[in-house]
Chains A and B, each alone.
Chain A
Amino acid sequence: MPQYFARSANTIYRLVLFASAGSVVVVACLGYLIVRSPYESMQNVPREQPIPFSHEHHVGGLGIDCRYCHTTVETSAFANVPPTKVCMNCHSQMWATSPTLEPVRESYRSGRSIEWTRVNDLPDFVYFNHSIHVHKGIGCETCHGRVDKMPLTWQAQPLTMEWCLNCHRHPERYVRPRDQVVTMGYKYPPNQLEVGRKLMTEYHIQSLTSCSNCHR
């Protein structure tokens, strides 16, 4: 019987062909979705910290200004994490005995730093400068999100190059008055675009997209 294939073979063969062709597409799309996913950018993941420090409480609750702790944000490329001393300014009185704060006191006694886990981390070949962004009226919130609503801090934005360029190409969409920089939950005016353009001229904001602006 020289008929080597059952009639059904035709259908199966075709199915297999189309399936394999299709699977390639599917895999490609999946990969693409993954690299853009919060998983890849480690977005929205509250990070474990040695001390369960709550921005929600300190910023939202007590309304402490960002710059009280992150002192160098206006002057330096780097927005520093507060030294233990700054914590102790208050916590030598408040909650002076609370066990959760023991690591702070321990650090202050021993002089060994508290090991915080980094939340917003750019690749090491990217050079970001806080002072200039703050100076040009880019709100903390724009990149760090509603910190005042974060019991444990997480990364609010993807921090991908695409995301950076988004703003660098159209600063007018995101710029806000300097005095509003540290405001949380700032409401952009309905005519943000023209306001933005006005601020751009006022603050001499250029759209910087040259590679060496961030990569050196």
Chain B
Amino acid sequence: MSDASTYGMVAEFDDPTKLVEAAREMRKLGYRKMEAYSPYPIKDLHEIIPVINWVPAICFLGGLSGSIIAWSMEYYIAAIDYPINVGGRPLYSWPSFIPILFELTVLLAGCSAFFAVLGLSGFPRVHFPLFNLPQFADATSSRMFLCIEKTDPIYDSDLTAKFMRELEPVGVWEVSDE
């Protein structure tokens, strides 16, 4: 029954423990292209389904650029572009430059962190195959789902479904991307 439009095999669970177990099982069986969906973060899944976390790096770069922009802007404007004697203070009065340096650093770091999440998760992505599965609506409220994607080399509709049924899910479906 599997065909070109198939996206993957999905099992529904009503309990984090079962989900984690299931994920671990499937991984043991050699499945790699899998993804777990839960209404709240479950730490244990991160070991089972590993993913590289770029967010901190991006955030750091953002912050760094913020500081550089801020300082060079302040120095250029106050000391080079139009050097004006303000209250007898030196043109390059660095202590007064610190607050803005800090603020811009935080600003850019924060923004880059936020957009990193969107970018990495491929957002916006309002159309997603699993949404075809009516039960999947509960994924954001109370239920958890485990999905073996068809792109997995050892994916086989019947076999995968069989394995999954052994993990006492609420149900198992093959979802097509139509």
Residues of A within 8 A of B (CB): 1-10, 13-14, 17, 165, 209
The residue in B82, B124, B125, B132 that gathers the most chain A C-beta atoms within 10 A of its C-beta is: B124
B124 touches A4 (CB 8 A): no
A4: contacting residue among B125, B126, B133, B134, CB under 8 A: B126
- Which residues in A have their C-beta under 8 angstroms from that of B127? 3, 5-10
- Which residues in A have their C-beta under 8 angstroms from that of B114? none
A10: contacting residue among B82, B126, B136, B137, CB under 8 A: B126
B124 touches A2 (CB 8 A): no
Q: Does B131 touch A at the CB level, under 8 Å? A: yes
A2: contacting residue among B82, B125, B137, CB under 8 A: B137
A3 touches B132 (CB 8 A): yes
B124 touches A13 (CB 8 A): yes
B131 touches A10 (CB 8 A): no
6 nearest A-B residue pairs (beta carbon): A5-B126, A13-B124, A5-B127, A3-B131, A7-B127, A9-B126
User: 18 pairs across A/B with beta carbons < 8 Å?
Assistant: A1-B132, A2-B131, A2-B133, A2-B136, A2-B137, A3-B127, A4-B126, A4-B131, A6-B127, A7-B127, A9-B126, A9-B127, A10-B126, A10-B127, A13-B124, A13-B126, A14-B124, A165-B82
A2 touches B134 (CB 8 A): yes
Q: How far is the CA of A6 from the CA of B178 in the complex (A)?
A: 10
Nearest B residue to A13 via CB reads B124
A10 touches B124 (CB 8 A): yes
- Which residues in B have their C-beta under 8 angstroms from that of A9? 126-127
CB distance from B156 to the nearest CB of A (A): 25
Residues of B within 8 A of A (CB): 82, 124-127, 131-134, 136-137
- Which residues in B have their C-beta under 8 angstroms from that of A165? 82
- Which residues in B have their C-beta under 8 angstroms from that of A14? 124
- Which residues in A have their C-beta under 8 angstroms from that of B136? 2
CB distance from B131 to the nearest CB of A (A): 4
Q: How far is the CA of A74 from the CA of B111 in the complex (A)?
A: 59
- Which residues in A have their C-beta under 8 angstroms from that of B125? 10
- Which residues in A have their C-beta under 8 angstroms from that of B124? 10, 13-14, 17
- Which residues in A have their C-beta under 8 angstroms from that of B126? 4-5, 9-10, 13
- Which residues in B have their C-beta under 8 angstroms from that of A7? 127
Q: How far is the CA of A14 from the CA of B127 in the complex (A)?
A: 12
Nearest A residue to B125 via CB reads A10
Q: How far is the CA of A3 from the CA of B129 in the complex (A)?
A: 8
Q: How far is the CA of A17 from the CA of B126 in the complex (A)?
A: 13
Q: How far is the CA of A9 from the CA of B127 in the complex (A)?
A: 7
- Which residues in A have their C-beta under 8 angstroms from that of B134? 2
- Which residues in B have their C-beta under 8 angstroms from that of A209? 82
CB distance from B127 to the nearest CB of A (A): 4
Nearest A residue to B85 via CB reads A210
Q: How far is the CA of A135 from the CA of B100 in the complex (A)?
A: 45
Q: How far is the CA of A209 from the CA of B133 in the complex (A)?
A: 72
Nearest A residue to B133 via CB reads A2
- Which residues in B have their C-beta under 8 angstroms from that of A1? 132
Q: How far is the CA of A6 from the CA of B128 in the complex (A)?
A: 9
Q: How far is the CA of A209 from the CA of B136 in the complex (A)?
A: 69
Inter-chain pairs besides A2-B132, A3-B131, 8 sampled, C-beta below 8 Å: A2-B131, A4-B126, A5-B127, A6-B127, A8-B127, A10-B125, A17-B124, A165-B82
Q: How far is the CA of A9 from the CA of B131 in the complex (A)?
A: 14
CB distance from A186 to the nearest CB of B (A): 29
- Which residues in B have their C-beta under 8 angstroms from that of A6? 127
- Which residues in B have their C-beta under 8 angstroms from that of A3? 127, 131-132
